[in-house]
Amino acid sequence: MAFELPSLPYPHNALAGRGMCQETMELHHDKHHQAYVTALNGFVEKDSKLQGKSLEDIIKMSHGNAEMAPVFNNAGQHWNHILFWQAMSPQGGKLPGRLEQQITSDFGGVQQFKDAFKAAAVGQFGSGWAWLVKGTDGKLKVTRSANGSNPLAGGEGEALLGCDVWEHSYYLDFRNRRPDYVQNWLDNLANYEFAASKL
Ligand SMILES: [Fe+2]
């Protein structure tokens, strides 16, 4: 069974008023994410070791294996983008009480969390991701990863939110201003209800 591009959980123009325009969504979801899925399916077709494996299995078995780097990159990016579309909402930016309490407990406050997340996202040199992760100790933390990697591959815990800091995610809306994109993402796009549902 080939991997498939999931539909967006909202229309392509649903985030336009919140800093992610329709053209960004059309390119990012329909072209970039589709390209990762197509490439991954091509690798699976040619390699019997990958056939019948879940996406998570493929990510774990290819992680850290130089020969499988192209498989890892595309499987990771498929997994990352599946999460990314869910991690945003046309009603984004509002923190449910339960998540706010845990963020306050683990980071000292919502502002401290946002500052840490923004620092991770801006500090990721080149392409990559910033994450809100529930660690194996049950505590929330912020991490970052390069290119197509993610907290699943690194064994860091469960990703509750992931912010794509590849330029294809923000260049039409924010040009080179990654800090402004990330701040807007945290304030107006992040689906904290989704994050809370994974606590
Ligand atoms: Fe992306």
The C-alpha atoms of residue 69 and residue 65 are separated, in whole angstroms, by 6
Can you tell me the mean pLDDT for 13-38?
98
Six token digits for residue 189: 């796009």
Q: Determine the Cα–Cα distance for residues 21 and 34; give it in Å rounded to an integer.
A: 18
Residues measured by CB to lie within 5 Å of ligand 1, the ion: 164, 166
- Per residue in 145-162, pLDDT (tens digit) is 999 999 999 999 999 999
Report the pLDDT value the prediction gives residue 197, as an integer from 0 to 100: 97
- 164 CA distance to ligand 1 centroid (A)? 6
Say whether pTM exceeds 0.75: yes
- Dihedral angle, C-alpha 74, 5, 33, 95, nearest 10 °: -110
Instruction: State residue 152's pLDDT score.
Output: 97
Backbone torsion region of residue 117, taken as left when φ is above 0, otherwise alpha when ψ lies between -120 and 50, otherwise beta: alpha
pLDDT per position as a tens digit, 45-91 = 999 999 999 999 999 999 999 999 999 999 999 999 999 999 999 99
Going from the Cα of 101 to the center of ligand 1, the distance in angstroms, rounded, reads 30
